[in-house]
Amino acid sequence: MSDITLHRARTVLPVAAPPIADGAVAVRDGRIVAIGAHDALTAELGDAIGERREWDGALTPGLVNAHTHLQYTDMAAVGRGQYPSFETWALAFEKGYRVEHDWAASAAEGVRLSIESGTTAVAEIVTDPEAGRAVHDAGLHGVVFWEVFGWKRAAWQHDGPERVLAQLDALPSPPATGLSPHAIYSLDTDVFRELQRLAEAHGVRLHIHAAESASEDEFARFGTGPLAERWRGLGHSDMQLLSGNGSGNGVVHYLDTVGVLTPHSHLAHGIYVDAADRALLRERGVSVALCPRSNAVIGLDAPPIAAYLTEGNPIGVGTDSLSSSPSLRVLDDVAELHRLARAQGYSADDLHSRLLHAATAGGARALGLADGPAPAGTLIEGARADLAVFATASADPRDALAEIVESAPEALGTVVDGRMLWEAGSVGRGPSTGSGSAFEGARA
Ligand SMILES: [Zn+2]
pLDDT bin (cut points 50, 70, 90) of residue 98 is: very high
Q: Based on the fold, state whether residues 37 and 99 are members of the same structural domain.
A: no
β partners of residue 123: 143
Quote the mean pLDDT of the chain: 94
Q: Based on the fold, state whether residues 91 and 35 are members of the same structural domain.
A: no
Q: Based on the fold, state whether residues 226 and 135 are members of the same structural domain.
A: yes
Residue 318 C-alpha to ligand 1 middle, in angstroms? 9
- Per-residue pLDDT, averaged over 349-358, amounts to 98
Residue 17 C-alpha to ligand 1 middle, in angstroms? 32
383: closest CA among 18, 108, 100, 33?
33
Q: Based on the fold, state whether residues 39 and 151 are members of the same structural domain.
A: no
Last residue of a domain, one of 319, 339, 366: 366
- Per-residue pLDDT, averaged over 86-90, amounts to 94
- Per-residue pLDDT, averaged over 86-98, amounts to 95
Angle among Cα 407, 306, 405 to the nearest 5 degrees reads 15
Residue 67 C-alpha to ligand 1 middle, in angstroms? 6
Work out the percent of the chain whose per-residue pLDDT is above 90: 94
Q: Based on the fold, state whether residues 140 and 223 are members of the same structural domain.
A: yes
Q: Whole-angstrom Cα distance, residue 328 to residue 116?
A: 10
Write down the pLDDT at residue 431.
34
Q: Based on the fold, state whether residues 101 and 90 are members of the same structural domain.
A: yes
Tell me if 437 is assigned to some domain. no
Helix axes 86-98 and 226-233, enclosed angle (nearest 10): 40
Assign residue 261 the CATH number of its domain: 3.20.20.140
Residue 61 C-alpha to ligand 1 middle, in angstroms? 24
Residue 78 C-alpha to ligand 1 middle, in angstroms? 14
pLDDT at residue 14 greater than cutoff 70: yes
Residue 289 C-alpha to ligand 1 middle, in angstroms? 10
Write down the pLDDT at residue 374.
86
Residue 267 C-alpha to ligand 1 middle, in angstroms? 10
pLDDT per residue over 113-150, tens digit each? 999 999 999 999 999 999 999 999 999 999 999 999 99
Last residue of a domain, one of 331, 366, 401: 366
Structural domain span for residue 386: 4-62+377-423
pLDDT bin (cut points 50, 70, 90) of residue 420 is: very high
Q: Based on the fold, state whether residues 265 and 276 are members of the same structural domain.
A: yes
Assign residue 386 the CATH number of its domain: 2.30.40.10
pLDDT bin (cut points 50, 70, 90) of residue 429 is: very low
pLDDT at residue 229 greater than cutoff 50: yes
Write down the pLDDT at residue 163.
97
- Kindly tell me the burial class for residue 209, based on how many C-beta atoms sit within 10 Å of its own C-beta (0-12, 13-18, 19 or more): buried
pLDDT per residue over 255-312, tens digit each? 999 999 999 999 999 999 999 999 999 999 999 999 999 999 999 999 999 999 999 9
Number of domains in the chain: 2
Tell me if 433 is assigned to some domain. no
Q: Based on the fold, state whether residues 162 and 180 are members of the same structural domain.
A: yes
8 A C-beta contact, residue 217 and residue 250? yes
Write down the pLDDT at residue 176.
97
pLDDT per residue over 145-156, tens digit each? 999 999 999 999
Tell me if 429 is assigned to some domain. no
CA-to-CA dists, residue 182 to 125, 195, 431, angstroms: 9, 11, 49
8 A C-beta contact, residue 290 and residue 258? no
Kindly state the DSSP code that residue 61 receives in the 8-state scheme: E
Q: Based on the fold, state whether residues 57 and 81 are members of the same structural domain.
A: no
Tell me if 440 is assigned to some domain. no
Residue 268 C-alpha to ligand 1 middle, in angstroms? 7
Tell me if 127 is assigned to some domain. yes
Residue 323 C-alpha to ligand 1 middle, in angstroms? 9
Kindly state the DSSP code that residue 85 receives in the 8-state scheme: S
Write down the pLDDT at residue 442.
30
